[in-house]
Chain A
Amino acid sequence: MKQFAKMAIPYAIWAAVMIAIPMLMILLYAITESGNGVVTLKFTLDNFIYFLTDPALLRVLMTSFKIAIYTTILCILIGYPAAYFMSKLNEKYRTTVLLLITLPTWINMLVRTYAWMGMLQVDGLFAQILGMLGIGDVQLIGTEGAVIFVMVYNFLPFMILQIYTSLSKMDKSYLEAASDLGANKVQSFWRVTFPLSLPGVISGITLVFLPAASTFQISQLIGQGSVPMIGNLIESFFLKTGDWNKGSAISLIMAVIIMFSMYLAKKVDKDPSTRGRI
């Protein structure tokens, strides 16, 4: 089978250049001073210290993770019942609803976010509805709440689909066993269905938290510049001020935090003590 194994070489070279080298460049720029050539590298930790000591930047870091955590929690709270009800539908409706929930995720995120930008305008659809209900003059666009709302809109389908998949894979005989053993509906939900669906919740969390923490387009369009997130910082370091060293440092900080949380989530998922205690 050696003849086949050789065919992986072109991609190995490609991956080294296109995947490994860019990551190494981020690392290198993050730990060196700006303005030095390849020959005269001056190592420093100033780029990291800069972030961890500037209160304004720390606040941006905190805001980003706060928004990402709120978004993730809301997606679970709203998405879980939806996934649960979906799994209870009869088959004819189920495929249709599944398709209807998948479809928006395939439409460009910028396009969907732009639509909300129109609806959340100062005199937009939502402001008018709120006005009719007697709640006048609420600032929507440009607030943290609006950013979280639009993020929930964008990422909720992923959470629903993940939970739905794990619910529909579940062996229904567990539920019969639970009711035979005298559990009522509520008990069998919390002690059978919910623990068995946790892997779905966890992979949903990874699919929501990662993009929510690192987005910059939603906070730009909906936050209108008044809700800066890490992504916006990175954008301005690379595309506006051209400070690659500081930009690399913050990219590295974010990548490490996010990958570490993903790793933890996977670990929790694999840990038998947290999975399906029946």
Chain B
Amino acid sequence: MPLFDRILIANRGEIAVRLLRACRELGISPVAVYSEVDREALHVRLADEAILLGPAAPAESYLNMEKVIAAALQSGAAAVHPGYGFLSENAGFARRAAAAGLVFIGPPPGAIDAMGDKAAARVLMQSSGVPVVPGVQDVADDKALAKAAKDIGFPVLVKAAAGGGGKGMRVVNASADLLESAAAARREALNAFGDDRLILEKYVARGRHVEIQVLADQHGNTVHLFERECSVQRRHQKIIEETPSPLLDDDLRSAMGDAAVAAAQAVGYTNAGTVEFIVDPDTRAFYFLEMNTRLQVEHPITEAITGLDLAQWQIRIAAGERLPFQQADLTPHGHAIECRLYAEDPATGFLPSTGTLLAFDLPSGPGVRVDSGVTEGSEISVHYDPLMAKLIVHAGDRPAALRRMQTALSETVVLGVTTNREFLLDVLQHPVFAAGEATTRFIEEHLPNWRPATSVPPAALIAAALAELRAPASSNGATPAADADPYSPWARPTGFRMGGG
């Protein structure tokens, strides 16, 4: 079956670059879209054609369905890949793309809808034999809510039925706080989603976040590509992922894999998707949380251990190809870890940081992969997600992968923008993480109030002074002020050597 001639990539940053590369390797011409602040972005430079959507605000650019579809039609693309975030889990967009004659590279809109409503998904999963967190999805009034919470037992989690992204979500530790928290969650849910229905669930306080990658073609074949553990999170967002999970054994892996396949089949899923579970490490019971009906940020670690290119398979499945393997043919190899390099300051509660990348050195070597959407000189703005790059390592076993990631992070240099690089290094070196025992509360329990090393070593001061001597810093420019001193070594393209170095 022929693949598409052209695909429009409706995204930006590292995922747009990653999808561009998948297109190239399949002989497909990639088309990029961009907002006014992304004119110079890497994904724009690498595409065959790039179409301006509009101003920086997502609603006027990457989230604007009409503009994205018009760009696809204008470019002559046959299909649209939404990446993650933005329009990726928007069933309305999938339908409009189809109505415009474009193939949406993702699941059918009905599957997105079915998984998007958390309350309906709970019911559907239960009836499909997929374990869900003990709880209730229809709480008519405060009285019913109080009774349900008592039956489930505290702590409980109240969350928006229509929700996602931590909005409208509250942990309630005691019955005295229940009604107030529920009212606040309803308000947030109504603001964010226009829907104030709540779900009440048992809160698994020290759970492990383990998700299963699934892949389904349009011919009825659904397989899982094993798990990813993503327990290390801040503000309900992942920062480190690994596979295999240090918690799982073959029995649990196979039970969770079967449950994920059942979940996907229950909604008629096709393409790549991820079923998220919370696992209680004490009882080893696992519960369905939600299904992400798109490619995940952390998909590269699954690619590393399976040798499959998920982005390419998304395209091939969308074009109607059949999976040439079955579950029994799949075996994971080695251990893979991903660290997300964010423009954020872990010392101030992970607040986003901005600036110009004055230096950006990325690691390389055997088993090291970097998916990056920025380069030296790139501007990190306030408009979008602060993910700059993902470092992915693959090695024979977990200890070797950990060492490889430490080396990769140590080689990484980012100047000009504050990042979480050193925080990531400290997580990797923490004995609880090293032992494979980190839960979703790891950061708040083990690295609260984290601060970077405060003492400045002589070498740092001397390096700064030497740079100063060599490049009189009279300018405001971000680059060394070579023009200020014609004899400055910074000015010479061939560099500078003295003292026989």
A binds B: no
